[in-house]
Chains A and B, each alone.
Chain A
Amino acid sequence: MNQQTSTFPAIQTQNLIKTFDKVVANDNVSFDVRRGEILALLGENGSGKTTLMNMLSGIYFPDSGSIEVDGKEVSIRSPKDAFGLGIGMVHQHFKLVDVFTAAENIVLGLPGKLFLDRKASTREIREISERYGFQLDPDKKIYNMSVSEKQTVEIVKVLYRGADILILDEPTAVLTPQETEQLFTTLRNMKADGKAIVIITHKLNEVLSVSDRVHILRKGKSIATVNTPETNQQELTEMMVGRAISLKIHRPLVEVKEDRLQISGLNCLSPEGVQALQNINFTLQSGEILGIAGIAGSGQKELCEALAGLYPVSSGSILYHPEGADTTDIVGKAPKEIRDMGITMAFVPEDRLGMGLVANMDMTDNVMLRHYDKGRGPFADRKRSRGLAEGLIDQLEIVTPGVSTPVRRLSGGNVQKVLLGREIDSAPRVLIVAYPVRGLDINSSYTIYDLLNEQKKRGVAVLFVGEDLDVLLELADRILVLCGGQVSGIVDAANATKEEVGLLMTQVPEEVDIS
């Protein structure tokens, strides 16, 4: 379809308005994307990026305004209509059937003959892969694939259906730097082939490296469209946030440090008998933030849970050196005992509310989960928890109608503040946080970083499991890299490069340097 090198843009929207109840999600959004270019759509959470894309892919229908494809006004009422116009969406959360092969997922739901022609579909998928430089085995099952392979399947799926306008929703959120670079190479190949590509992201460095133009949304409104070569990070941030903010993450230095946790020879088996953690050795010091980097599923979750006493340890020791008290080995101790010693964990799982907070309970009750045994006799002490919850709202500027609102009604950033605030309140000596800024916008993220730095300055040993390498490199003192359940290296964050860490994420060096 790319022969239509018309003068019209591939997609042009004019004054799109979409409201939900009284909330205006999109307010007069006008943007365009041309064939043979990559447009970055930049905006904070809640700025209306997803609403806009959902209108283009047929999930929502705009209240008013127009959408033009190749200069012709269209009405997109279902995902099918969108496909008919050649618009393909690659969602952030993959929509794939785990037990199917890549090829089966790609042909799923397409009309055709009664019997599947696996050979023909495999051949076509290979052709598409070669054309754009994808690495994809059509006969591989999804559950055997890495995250980046799954993403490749999603993209090929859209191309196989003949899309020539691609919309990618935060495609790099789950990729390593190397994988991201590979993705960008294929995107550039598609661009050269005349496809129109929209990439939604809030990572500024990626915007600058891959896009041709940037369209910025703020609070549902179109702010500006700028040519990428003529802008910079600072300018983009100001347009996105609406005011000047410093992008620098502070890394305060703490002079006096002492060893807090000493992990040696730690091995863990998963319930399926797979070695989840293999010979883990490291020391966590007070007054430092130790970052944990790694591809998703490299043992981060298992490591955190092993430290908190939630994951069975098959061998090795975790020595805990509290201030002015005797060293104890916490392996085999009950989670509650470990927590009482001052080792606390705030794990933010993918669904955010799954572990740690009970979605349907209010703030008071969620805070009480940590103090349920502090009351008199069989009665819980509600008053204390309520006071605490109210304190958290003031301290951390949590936006909520009140302490009795169920936490599921709070926005992501506020939920995370409740979770972290509760853990910090217990005055821990070791604080384990996993993905605390997942899905948060810039403002909330910086509040969380400040919180963690404050803890660090108080002499707390912080273990920070993160996804964004840029953040880890700026915030953490040292970075421990996990790869397939092993420590592939520990680097000094101030002197390390992203490439160095990225490489460690994908392979364990021949001689593991444990220091």
Chain B
Amino acid sequence: MLGLNKKDTGLLLIVAVLALFAPIIFNPFPSDSAMAQFNAGYPDLMQRFVIFGIFAIGYNILFGLTGYLSFGHAAFLGVGSYAAVWMFKLLSMNILPAIALSIVIAGVFAALIGYVSLRRSGIYFAILTLAFAQMSYNLAYSVLTPITNGETGLQLSLDDPRILDGAPESVGSLPYPTLLGFEMSDTYVMAAGGWQFQFSVGYYVCAVVLLLAFYLSIRIFRSPFGMMLRAVKSNQQRLNYTGVNARPYTLAAFVISGMYAGLAGGLMASMDPLAGADRMQWTASGEVVLMTILGGAGTLIGPVLGAGFIKYFENIFSKINDTILHQWFAIMPDGIEDVLVALVHPFVGKGWHLTLGILFMLVVIFLPGGLVEGGQRIAGLFRRRKTDNDGDGDTGSSTSKDPAE
């Protein structure tokens, strides 16, 4: 289907089903239960899963295929966000021109940075991209304040021209980003028993874009171009000796992944019309590297899993405070309750970085191929047992049994 082989079609379908039912899948606990703390099925977090998934898919095209470790990809995300917010301010609240411009600007930006940085490889390339990204961050933070609004971040304001939208219907309130007349913030809340499922327009727009981005990434992985990129990764010198100039290929991969980052930035601004300089900081660039490695570099689904994993920790674990811990352990006797709270305390709330760090170490040590490798091992276990028992039917968890490539 769609020019994909059977395995890839299956993978795409799994991602599509996951994306479609995410508001239900990520909300497994009734909203008044104690476990509701762990629900991730609210629009903002699901949008973040998807947007950072797109960002990581794009990053993986560069890092996973060519092996070039870029430490400056957040710059493209930031540039994309600024471009999108400026479109909202000047042209229209429709998200299509905003996203289109953010992809184009990020692409041009990536071409400039890539042209210079790709003259070197390995650690020198990483440092060059890091330097460019930090430069962009510092410029956005102070010198370019007329364009970026500095520390405060670029926001919409009431007196923006918005030439295509004409006069706003209600003076005094800011307009929302729209697509075909639907506001991104519209949410339909479905109450089913104790559960509350939130279906948000913004999320589904992101999900559709994710599917397109994922499909494109599969096609790039399977194309002759993708094969050439893998050749660059395995031995660039040999490639040079055979008379192939690798630089156009790496530059193309760099620009494509930059455009992916711009797309993610534009989407982020469409869901929440603000662009801040700290989106470009080196920690943000490092985060996408972590996502890719955690999920499994060079695999199709890995980056998406890694992005979801990190964003889940950032948003869910950071919000568990001592009061909640005391509620959990309330059934224990007082002394034991306090001890348990004291034991768990360093790992939740402001200690979420610690938990994430430990998990990252465990994954890198025991599963060098990332979460995807973990999924494959589990699937392998089941498969062996299945042949033993001669059983059939669905096995493994739906997210983790995906093949690596």
User: Are A and B physically bound partners?
Assistant: no
Binding site for B on A (CB under 8 A): none
Listed in ascending order, the chain B residues whose CB lies under 8 Å from chain A are none
